[in-house]
């Protein structure tokens, strides 16, 4: 069986031997849109994370039996065409719950404790010249008793809630689908969550219901000093509205995702004033990618292939 992995670079330095045991494996670190067609020739199984597989690719490759998406989202594959042409499509879920939940708190603490500022304070040897034993130019608050609102209360959102509860936070959530209504913590409207919560974390997929869910009107509701974090998908937050809000209001924002990835060179987040930039943390879509999560992802993709051959 011929297997092609189109974007191995998205998996980092993972051991691919599980795939090699399943067939003749061809690995490409990256694949652009002009290279997809030629790289699918004679392949029966394709593994893709973000490379787009469209109907024409499928029509040109009648030998193709299985498309494995090495992620949860399936928007990079034409599912309607695959069904029509009897090509199985399998994604992977549940592999990154612990990684994303942990990353949520990593981002929170970077903002909350202003780690970047204090690390620079030390590296510039300013503490050496301090007249007192401590330096608390940028104070922080404790999590206990703070209200934490979760947008998207699926598996990851619920795990974040468990950890936040351990810190003594009061929890509530907003269901982006409107279906998830039977939970142990209070369900609230988006407006109530945005206005009442000290900490807000987003763990929702990007779809018609969530695109630009958080924009100018919602950001205007934030409490002074609130923290809002996006660990879901880029596009859920209106980034231009976020820039304007960071410049005019006092709150903190962290995001692991952007509407366009990789980040464009002239992204407005890179042009924030000094007053606003220290209240923003951006990471390059790494929250899902702990070593353990990536190993589990490889295993689940391999299991998907085994189940189909």
Active site members: 233, 261, 285
CB of 16 closer than 8 Å to CB of 5: yes
- Which residues, at least 6 apart from 280, have a Cβ–Cβ distance to it below 8 Å? 246, 252, 253, 254, 269, 272
Which tokens is 39 given?
């790289």
Cα(280)–Cα(300) distance, integer angstroms: 34
CB of 90 closer than 8 Å to CB of 308: yes
Q: Is the bond preceding residue 262 a cis peptide, omega within 30 degrees?
A: yes
CB of 82 closer than 8 Å to CB of 56: no
CA distances (Å), origin 307, targets 5, 124, 137, 178, 273: 18, 57, 57, 33, 53
Given CA atoms 166, 224, 109, 295 in this order, what sign does their dihedral have? positive
Secondary structure percentages of the chain, helix, strand, coil, to 5: 35, 15, 50
Buried-state track 260-290, b at ≥16 Cβ within 10 A, e below 16? eeeeeeeeebeebeeebeebbbbeebebbbb
Cα(40)–Cα(53) distance, integer angstroms: 10
Angle at 78 between CA 72 and CA 80, to 5 degrees: 110
CA atoms within 13 A on the CB side of 27: 14
């Amino acid at each position: 069986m011929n297997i092609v992995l189109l974007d191995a670079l998205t998996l980092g330095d993972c051991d691919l031997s599980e795939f090699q045991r399943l067939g003749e494996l061809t690995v490409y670190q990256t694949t652009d849109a002009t290279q997809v067609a030629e790289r699918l020739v004679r392949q029966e199984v394709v593994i893709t994370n973000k490379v787009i597989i469209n109907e024409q690719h499928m029509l040109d490759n009648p030998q193709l039996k299985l498309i494995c998406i090495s992620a949860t989202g399936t928007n990079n594959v034409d599912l309607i065409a695959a069904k029509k042409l009897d090509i199985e499509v399998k994604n992977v879920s549940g592999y990154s719950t612990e990684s994303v939940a942990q990353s949520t708190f990593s981002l929170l603490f970077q903002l909350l404790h202003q780690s970047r500022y204090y690390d620079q304070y030390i590296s510039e040897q300013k503490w050496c010249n301090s007249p007192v034993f401590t330096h608390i130019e940028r104070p922080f608050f404790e999590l206990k008793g703070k209200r934490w609102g979760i947008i998207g209360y699926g598996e990851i959102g619920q795990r974040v809630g468990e950890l936040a509860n351990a810190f003594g936070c009061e929890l509530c959530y907003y269901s982006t689908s409107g279906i998830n209504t039977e939970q142990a913590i209070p369900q609230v409207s988006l407006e109530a969550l945005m206005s009442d919560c000290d900490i807000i974390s987003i763990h929702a997929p990007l779809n018609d219901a969530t695109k630009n869910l958080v924009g100018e009107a919602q950001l205007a509701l934030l409490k002074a000093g609130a923290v809002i974090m996006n660990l879901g998908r880029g596009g859920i937050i209106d980034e231009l509205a976020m820039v304007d809000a960071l410049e005019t209001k006092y709150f903190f924002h962290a995001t692991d995702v952007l509407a366009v990835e990789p980040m464009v060179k002239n992204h407005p987040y890179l042009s924030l004033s000094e007053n606003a930039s220290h209240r923003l943390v951006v990471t390059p879509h790494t929250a899902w990618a702990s070593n353990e999560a990536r190993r589990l992802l490889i295993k689940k993709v391999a299991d998907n292939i085994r189940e189909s051959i």
